[in-house]
């Protein structure tokens, strides 16, 4: 009985084999999970841009139009949602700010706005996407 208590008393740490086994299990799990998450950040950015265009900014633009009777002009741009425009037509019933921060897409570029729009009668609003060059990855309010 004395030997049994002595062995239990001395076992306070993990053995090297146990530690290596845990490291191998964690590495195997990581090898399975990380590749699945690799492409998710770009998908998340596209979802954020789509949400901004279809919900957040469009709601702010509709509130601006409800208060002032028209959408901001292309020259006034989306900055009219943050600060009262001082260029014509100056809105008399501006009740903003309608958004809290400058409207930039998840890639750090400003959203492109024009009113009246070329693709819609009221306004066009889009992000040029990740590459900012080609139109293949653009996120728009008319497609």
For residue 113, the cross-strand partners are 125
The total of structural domains in the chain comes to: 2
* Predicted local distance difference test score (pLDDT) of residue 37: 65
* Predicted local distance difference test score (pLDDT) of residue 133: 73
Yes or no: say if 100 and 11 are a contact pair by the CB < 8 Å rule.
no
- Same-domain check for residues 60 and 117: yes
pTM above 0.85, yes or no: no
* Predicted local distance difference test score (pLDDT) of residue 135: 73
* Predicted local distance difference test score (pLDDT) of residue 20: 81
CA distance 135 to 130: 10
pLDDT in tens, 72-95: 999 999 999 999 999 999 999 999
- Same-domain check for residues 49 and 119: yes
- Same-domain check for residues 96 and 27: no
CA distance 131 to 114: 21
Residue ranges making up the domain that contains 26:
2-37
- Same-domain check for residues 15 and 77: no
Q: Where do runs of H (alpha helix) occur along 40-102?
A: 40-51, 57-68
| Number of Cβ atoms within 10 Å of the Cβ of 141 | 21
- Same-domain check for residues 68 and 128: yes
Low-confidence stretches of the chain (pLDDT beneath 70): 1-12, 35-39, 134
- Same-domain check for residues 93 and 120: yes
CA distances from 132 to 95, 109, 114 (A): 33, 8, 17
Radius of gyration of the chain from its Cα atoms, rounded to whole angstroms:
28
Size of the chain in residues: 143
Q: Nearest CA to 123 among 54, 42, 28? A: 54
- Same-domain check for residues 118 and 56: yes
């Amino acid at each position: 009985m004395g030997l049994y208590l002595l062995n239990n008393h001395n076992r306070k740490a993990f053995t090297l084999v146990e530690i290596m086994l845990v490291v191998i299990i964690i590495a195997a799990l990581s090898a399975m999970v990380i590749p699945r998450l690799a492409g998710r950040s770009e998908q998340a950015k596209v979802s954020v841009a789509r949400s901004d265009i279809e919900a957040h900014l469009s709601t702010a633009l509709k509130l601006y139009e409800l208060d002032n009777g028209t959408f901001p002009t292309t020259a006034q741009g989306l900055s009219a949602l943050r600060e009262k425009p001082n260029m014509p037509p100056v809105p008399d019933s501006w009740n903003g700010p309608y958004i809290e921060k400058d409207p930039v897409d998840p890639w750090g570029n400003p959203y492109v706005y024009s009113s009246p729009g070329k693709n819609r009668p009221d306004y066009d609003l889009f992000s040029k996407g990740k590459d900012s060059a080609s139109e293949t990855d653009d996120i728009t309010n008319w497609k």
